Amino acid sequence: MIFLQLFLSYFKIGLFNFGGGYAMLSLIQHETVEAHKWLTPQEFTDIVAISQTTPGPIGINSATYAGYTAVLNSGYPPAVAVLGSVIATVSVCLPSFILILSISVALSRNRKKTYMDAAFTYLRPTAVGLIAAAALSLVNHDNFIDLKSPLLFLAAFLLTWRYKVNPIITILLASTAGLLLY
């Protein structure tokens, strides 16, 4: 029964979550601590702390750890609790997967339509503008220490854009340069 409850709870969290992983945490806390009492408030706090220190999205990491802990706290052995983490992780991602799959099917069927071409003509520069706005919002007094930061950005930009260097290599080079310069 707990496995069905886990699936329904995390599917609902994935379906109604807007705002990313941190926004998802309050929904996870409500479902696991308050509604079903699978976790204690301290366990949930520990799960959030662990989720922040492990690689990956915090919302999905929290779902994975909370699913495991919920099944473990229900009296099942650790090997079965792994199934709880899998169910929680898959069901929290499933609504987004279904939505993206539906959109991609609709886009592929209507790819040659004139209105679709017109929409993408305006969406591409809009996406570039949103990314640029996010980058510019990071340019403030705290992040703009001296001339080294914009030069590092310019070097990384030129490596990827002009010289077609793999972005992963560019990130590694920029990280090394940042360690040496700062």
Q: Where are the domains of the chain?
A: 2-103, 114-181
User: If DSSP codes are grouped into helix, strand and coil, which group holds residue 147?
Assistant: coil
Name the token pair of 132. Answer: 């640029």
Say which residue the tokens 């279904």 belong to: 98
Distance from CA of residue 146 to its chain's centroid? 31
In the structure, how many helices (H) and strands (E) does the chain have?
8, 0
Predicted confidence pLDDT, tens digits, the chain (182 residues): 899 999 999 999 999 887 778 888 889 999 999 999 999 999 999 999 899 888 888 889 999 999 999 999 999 999 999 999 999 999 999 999 999 999 889 888 877 778 777 887 888 888 888 878 877 766 666 666 678 878 888 999 999 999 999 999 999 999 899 889 87
Please list the alpha-helical segments (H only) found in 54-113.
58-73, 78-109
Six token digits for residue 119: 């929409």
Q: Supply the pTM of this predicted model.
A: 0.64
DSSP per-residue codes, 100-130 = HHHHHHHHHHTTT-HHHHHHHHHHHHHHHHH
With left for phi above 0 and alpha for psi between -120 and 50, is residue 54 left, alpha or beta?
beta
Distance CA 69, CA 147 (A): 48
